[in-house]
Structure 1
Amino acid sequence: MTSLIYQLLISATSFLLFLACFQHFTDAQGIGVTLARDMQKPPPPKAILWLLRQKNIKKVRVYDAFNDRDLLEALQDTGIDVLVGMNNDDVYRVAADVSSNEAAKWLEQNIKPYYEKVSFRCLQIGRRMSQQGNRQISAVFQALVHVQTAQKRLGLDISLGIDLDTNVMTESFPPSAASFDVSILPVLRPMLTFMEHNMGTLIVSIYPMIRYVTDLYYEYKGVSIDYALLNGETVVVTDNGLQYTNMMDGLMDAFYTSLKKLGISMRVIVGETGWPSSSEVKYATQKLAGEYIYNLAERLKNNVGTPLKPQWHVETFIHTLYVQDKNNDGMYKWYGMFYPNGSPANPYLSL
Structure 2
Amino acid sequence: MENLLTRIAMLHVLLGLFLTLSGFGFVREAESLGINYGQVANDLPAPERVIELLRSLRVTKARIYDTNPQVLSAFANSNVELIVTVENNMLATLVDPNQALQWVSTRIRPFIPATKITGIAVGNEVFSGDDTTLLNYLVPAMVSLHAALARLGLDQYIHVSTPNSLAVLQESFPPSAGVFRPELAGIMPQFLQFLTSTKSPFWINAYPYFAYKDNSNKISLDYVLFNPNAGMVDPYTHLHYDNMLYAQVDAVIFAMERMGYGGIEVRVSETGWPSRGDGNEIGATLENAAAYNRNLLRRQMRNEGTPLRPNMRLEIYVFALFNEDMKPGPTSERNYGLFHPDGTMAYNVGLSALSTTSSTSTASISLTSNATQVKT
TM-score when normalising by structure 1:
0.88
Q: What per-residue deviation string (whole Å, max 9, x for no partner) do you get for residues 65-121 of structure 1?
A: 1xx1111111111111111111112222112x2xx0000000001100112122222
Matches within 5 A, 1:265-344: 265-280=263-278, 281-330=281-330, 331-344=332-345
Matched residue of 2:323: which SS? coil
Cα pair distance change 1:86/1:59, threshold 3 Å: same
Q: Distance in 1 between matches of 2:16 and 2:144?
A: 44
Cα 1:49–1:101 change in 2 (3 A) is same
Higher relative helix content: 1
Counterpart of 1:347?
Answer: 348
Give the Cα separation in 1 of the matches to 2:192 and 2:180: 12
Q: Secondary structure of 1:33's match?
A: strand
Please give the secondary structure, in 2, of the residue aligned with 1:24: coil
Q: What does 1:1-351 align with in structure 2 at a 5 Å threshold?
A: 20-24=17-21, 27-65=29-67, 68-95=68-95, 97=96, 100-132=97-129, 134-157=132-155, 158-214=158-214, 216=215, 219-220=217-218, 223-239=219-235, 240-264=237-261, 265-280=263-278, 281-330=281-330, 331-350=332-351, 351=371
The 2-side partners of 1:236 and 1:56 are apart by 35
Cα distance in structure 1, aligned partners of 2:135 and 2:212? 26
Give 2:346's aligned amino acid: A
CA shift for structure 1 position 17: 7.7
Distance change >3 Å, CA 247–CA 114, structure 1 → 2: same
Contact 1:228–1:247 under 8 Å retained in 2? yes
Q: Quick check: 308-317 or 17-26, which moved more?
A: 17-26
Cα RMSD of the aligned pairs, angstroms, is: 2.0
Give SS of 2:325's match.
coil
Uncovered stretches (5+) of structure 1, i.e. residues with no partner:
1-14
SS of alignment partner, residue 160 of structure 1: strand
Shift of 1:329: 2.2
Match of 1:10? none
Distance 1:294 1:103, change over 3 A: same
Deviations 1:97-153 (A, max 9, x none): 2xx000000000110011212222211111121222653222111101111221222
Contact preservation (8 Å) 2:230, 2:242: yes
- Answer whether contact 1:244 1:250 (CA < 8 A) is retained: yes
Q: Is the 8 A contact 1:122 1:201 kept in 2?
A: no
TM-score computed with the length of structure 2 as normaliser = 0.82
Contact 1:32 1:59 in 2 (8 A): yes
Q: Report if aligned partners of 1:76, 1:117 keep a CA contact under 8 Å in 2.
A: yes
Give the letter aligned to residue 225 of structure 1.
L
Contact 1:91 1:143 in 2 (8 A): yes
**CA offsets 1:185-224 (integer angstroms, 9 cap, x no match):** 211221211221111221110111112223x4x744xx31
Q: Distance in 2 between matches of 1:320 and 1:224?
A: 24
The one-letter code sitting in structure 1 at the alignment partner of 2:313 is H
Alignment length, in residue pairs? 328
| Whole-angstrom distance in 1 between the partners of 2:254 and 2:228 | 21
Q: Report the identity percentage.
A: 27
In the alignment, the residues of structure 2 paired with residue 148 and residue 17 of structure 1 have an alpha-carbon distance, to the nearest angstrom, of 39
Contact 2:40/2:326, CA 8 A, preserved across alignment: yes
Q: Answer yes or no: is the 8 Å Cα contact 2:275–2:284 preserved in 1.
A: yes
| Compared CA separation, residues 34 and 17, structure 1 to 2 (3 A) | closer
Q: Distance in 2 between the 1:348 and 1:302 partners?
A: 18
Contact 2:223 2:229 in 1 (8 A): no
Tell whether the 8 Å contact from 2:81 to 2:116 is kept in structure 1 after alignment. yes
In the alignment, the residues of structure 1 paired with residue 37 and residue 191 of structure 2 have an alpha-carbon distance, to the nearest angstrom, of 27
Shift of 1:16: 8.0
CA contact (8 A) 1:134 1:187 kept: no
Question: Using a 3 Å threshold, how does the CA distance of structure 1 residues 49 and 189 change in structure 2: closer, same or farther?
Answer: same
Structure 1 segments, 4+ long, off by >4 Å, are 15-19
**Deviates most, 204-213 or 245-254:** 204-213
The residue matched to 1:107 in structure 2 has which SS? helix
- Match for 1:307: what amino acid? P
Match of 1:51, as an amino acid?
Answer: L
Contact 2:294 2:350 in 1 (8 A): yes
Q: Check the 8 A contact 1:276/1:289 in 2, yes or no.
A: yes
- Greater mean deviation of Cα atoms: 23-32 or 224-233: 23-32
For structure 2, list consecutive stretches of 5 or more residues without a partner in the other structure. 1-11, 23-27, 352-370, 372-376
The 1:22/1:261 distance shift into structure 2, 3 A limit, reads same
User: Alpha-carbon deviation of 1:19?
Assistant: 5.8
Of stretches 104-113 and 185-194 in structure 1, the one that deviates more from structure 2 is 185-194
Q: Secondary structure at the match of 1:227?
A: helix
